[in-house]
């Protein structure tokens, strides 16, 4: 961990974090069931960005690229950033490296809310609203059950397991009452999929995620202070309660905004922050922004694999779990207090 | 800055701390001593506003701490815990920088000036060159110093330290007490410290506060207040006081 070399690695990582999502976005536009040549991608994007050509000459690929692929890719980038940044933030303020959206009940709270809305309210109301509500409810329940010992690792994890189980049960109840067509859609959505991304879904989700991620990135240094524990943070002059609530609410809303469209995509919020910590250390001034970028990239690549690896769509939630769980085991074995 | 405690009560479980009135002098070291369970640490935490005072008041520079924001409190009094409980392994400089929280808006990060202040604090405690080291790789003596550097970066008028010398070898113990003396003399800080080692307290403290069973038994400059009957009353064992070369030494 000595001096200028680490600093150079860090600045290289920041440059990579800025460039990589854009490069991956361009490459991913080119990938898919219907091959679009790179050159055509370029001219179509160029035409769309630089007006002046008559509409009749519009590229034949415009529909595929802008109506089908672009919303999906943007959703992958935003959802990946949302999950990774929320995970990193929650780990910091709970001073608990094993906390992420899933272990706080947020994922299944949001999933239950969205499912409830989809099955019983239909498309009339955006599923996000109900997802937000139940995600917040889930976190409140976890904090309530964990009680005053909420800074302790075990009690938070146990409460999270209980609350997740509760919302999974409620979710099954919704499935039980759903009609067969709704049920099929619901199950596929629950496994996690970006396939149904449309601009109308995204019009609410992307701004919420964007705003949430920006707020959390702005609070990145504060998370260093909050990660010392409540008493210490208070004694150096932080209004702990107020700032903790702010971060929990923003992280929950951001995750719920993603989950309500993508379904349950696990492990991103755990893997990405830890990978980043392994590379740059624990300082949240680096961990939070780098997590945003690498989370976005990871989910985008995972989605590229999900939609191109087989002749059918692999549910992305399954993909991230299959990769995530072995990674989690390695993490547990290796965590000799090196980066935690 | 003066610290005044008035009609303080704090209780949890069967233990009750009661301090009707206690003043701490400016720019000096006050050592709080007493047997285990006497309420030394609790009193220190109440005085530092780390624990909420159930009744009574703690005044720092004449201002009631209970009525102030966390930010304003942190600028008046800084609390140094024995050892922080750590989850994330921060670099020393990043850790010391957290002491600047009261000066940095929530949505902002430390400025160049904040980093300079943190580096100066590290120098003052004798840890120059430690900025990039990882906290958990430090020895326990070095960790204590980092904790003090963090509180120095907070720039409070009053420093309250919870047993900063426990588990230190004699050399580091003396080094720690010398550092506290420099804080009081050079930086004009009011230093309040709980200690187990009576000799260290007698040698370095300007004032001593003897506690037992949640109450203050006696207080004042060591020379005036220290007596064999008092030690017997506080610790329930016989101790002798010997005067050699103008110094007081306690013999067990």
Residue-wise pLDDT tens digits, A55-111? 555 667 777 788 888 999 999 999 999 999 999 999 999 888 888 888 889 989 999
Q: What is the DSSP string of B125-166?
A: TT-TT-TTSBGGGS-HHHHHHHHHHHHHHT--SEEEEE-TTT
Among B85, B87, B102, the residue with its CB nearest the CB of A236 is B102
Give the pair of three-digit tokens for residue A173: 């109840």
Most A CBs within 10 Å, among B44, B72, B87, to test the A interface: B87
Task: List per-block mean pLDDT (blocks of 10 residues) for chain B, which spans 252 residues.
Answer: 91 88 89 93 90 87 91 94 83 96 94 97 94 91 94 96 91 94 94 94 95 93 92 92 86 84
> What value, to the nearest 5°, has the Cα angle with vertex A139 and ends B87 and A135?
130
Taking residue A317's Cβ as centre, other Cβ atoms within 10 Å add up to 23
Q: What is the H or E stretch that residue A275 is in?
A: helix A268-280
Q: Domain A76-334 maps to which CATH number in 3.30.413.10, 1.10.3470.10, 1.10.10.10, 3.30.300.30?
A: 1.10.3470.10
**Residue A1 pLDDT:** 44
**Residue A6, pLDDT above cutoff 80:** no
What totals of helices (H) and strands (E) does chain B contain, helices first?
Answer: 9, 12
Owner of token pair 């709080």:
B32
**Residue A5, pLDDT above cutoff 70:** no
CA distance B252 to chain A (A): 37
**Residue A339, pLDDT above cutoff 50:** no
Write out chain B residues lying below 8 Å of A238, CB-based: 70-71, 101-102
**Residue A181, pLDDT above cutoff 70:** yes
- A323 in contact with B, Cβ within 8 Å: no
What pTM does this model have? Answer: 0.90
Q: Are B32 and B162 in contact (CB under 8 A)?
A: no
Average pLDDT over residues A206-229: 96
- Tell me the residue length of chain A: 340
Place A338 in a pLDDT band, splitting at 50, 70 and 90: very low
How many CB pairs lie under 8 A apart between chains A and B?
A: 101
**Residue B64 pLDDT:** 92
The β-bridge partners of B162 are: B194
Average pLDDT over residues A142-168: 82
Average pLDDT over residues A271-292: 92
Q: Are A128 and A208 in contact (CB under 8 A)?
A: yes
**What ipTM was assigned to the predicted interfaces of this complex?**
0.89
Q: Domain B3-87+156-251 maps to which CATH number in 3.20.20.70, 3.40.50.300, 1.10.357.10, 3.30.930.10?
A: 3.40.50.300
Domain coordinates of chain B in residue numbers? 3-87+156-251
CA separation, residue A232 to residues B147, B161, B228 (Å): 11, 13, 39
Q: Do B94 and A282 touch (CB under 8 A)?
A: yes
Taking residue B169's Cβ as centre, other Cβ atoms within 10 Å add up to 10
Instruction: Look over chain A and give the mean of its residue pLDDT values, rounded to a whole number.
Output: 86
- A229 in contact with B, Cβ within 8 Å: yes
pLDDT in tens, A119-150: 888 767 778 889 889 999 999 999 888 876 65
**Residue A298, pLDDT above cutoff 60:** yes
Place A335 in a pLDDT band, splitting at 50, 70 and 90: low
Could you give the 3-state DSSP secondary structure of residue A245? Answer: helix
Domain coordinates of chain A in residue numbers? 76-334
Q: Do B88 and A225 touch (CB under 8 A)?
A: no
Question: B3-12 and B55-60 as β-strands: parallel, antiparallel, unpaired?
Answer: antiparallel
């Amino acid at each position: 961990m000595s001096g200028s070399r680490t600093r150079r690695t860090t600045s290289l990582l920041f440059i990579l974090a800025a460039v990589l999502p854009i490069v991956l976005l361009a490459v991913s536009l080119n990938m898919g069931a219907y091959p679009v040549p790179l050159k055509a991608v370029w001219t179509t994007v160029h035409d769309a960005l630089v007006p002046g050509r008559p509409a009749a000459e519009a590229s034949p690929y415009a529909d595929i690229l802008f109506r089908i692929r672009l919303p999906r890719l943007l959703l992958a980038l935003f959802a990946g950033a949302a999950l990774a940044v929320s995970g990193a933030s929650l780990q910091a303020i709970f001073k608990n490296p094993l906390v992420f959206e899933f272990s706080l009940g947020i994922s299944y709270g949001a999933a239950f809310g969205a499912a409830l809305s989809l099955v019983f309210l239909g498309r009339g109301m955006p599923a996000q609203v109900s997802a937000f509500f139940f995600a917040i409810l889930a976190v409140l329940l976890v904090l309530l059950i964990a009680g005053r010992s909420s800074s302790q690792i075990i009690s938070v994890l146990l409460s999270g397991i209980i609350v997740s189980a509760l919302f999974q049960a409620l979710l099954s109840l919704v499935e039980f009452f759903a009609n067969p067509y709704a049920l099929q859609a619901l199950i596929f959505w629950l496994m996690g999929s970006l396939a149904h991304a449309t601009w109308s879904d995204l019009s609410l989700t992307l701004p919420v995620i964007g705003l949430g991620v920006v707020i959390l990135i702005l609070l990145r240094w504060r998370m260093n202070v909050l990660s010392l524990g409540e008493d210490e943070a208070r004694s150096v002059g932080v209004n702990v309660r107020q700032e903790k609530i702010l971060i929990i609410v923003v992280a929950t809303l951001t995750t719920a905004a993603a989950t309500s469209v993508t379904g349950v995509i696990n492990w991103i919020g755990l893997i990405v922050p830890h990978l980043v910590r392994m590379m740059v250390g624990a300082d949240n001034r680096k961990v939070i922004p780098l997590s945003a970028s690498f989370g976005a990239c990871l989910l985008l690549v995972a989605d590229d694999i999900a939609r191109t690896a087989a002749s059918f769509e692999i549910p992305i939630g399954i993909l991230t779990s299959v990769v995530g769980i072995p990674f989690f085991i390695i993490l547990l074995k290796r965590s000799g207090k090196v980066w935690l | 800055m003066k610290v005044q405690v008035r009609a303080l009560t704090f209780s949890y479980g069967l233990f009750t701390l009661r301090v009707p009135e206690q003043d701490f002098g400016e720019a000096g070291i006050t050592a709080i001593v007493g047997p285990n369970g006497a309420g030394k640490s609790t009193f220190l935490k109440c005085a530092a506003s780390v624990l909420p005072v159930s009744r009574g008041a703690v005044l720092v520079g004449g201002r009631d701490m209970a009525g102030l924001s966390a930010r304003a409190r942190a600028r008046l009094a800084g609390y140094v815990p024995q050892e922080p409980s750590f989850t994330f392994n921060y670099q020393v400089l990043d850790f010391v920088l957290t002491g600047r929280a009261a000066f940095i808006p929530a949505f902002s990060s430390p400025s160049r000036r904040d980093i300079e202040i943190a580096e100066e604090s590290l120098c003052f405690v004798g840890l120059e060159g430690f900025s990039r080291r990882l906290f958990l790789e430090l020895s326990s003596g070095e960790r204590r110093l980092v904790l003090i550097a963090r509180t120095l970066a907070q720039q409070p008028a009053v420093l309250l330290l919870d047993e900063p010398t426990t588990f230190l070898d004699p050399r580091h113990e003396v080094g720690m007490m010398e550092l506290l003396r420099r804080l009081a003399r050079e930086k004009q800080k009011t230093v309040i410290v709980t200690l187990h080692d009576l000799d260290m307290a007698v040698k370095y403290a300007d004032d001593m506060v003897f506690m037992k069973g949640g109450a203050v038994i006696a207080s004042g400059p060591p020379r005036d207040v220290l007596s064999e009957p008092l030690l017997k009353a506080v610790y329930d064992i016989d101790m002798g006081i010997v005067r050699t070369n103008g110094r007081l030494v306690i013999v067990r």
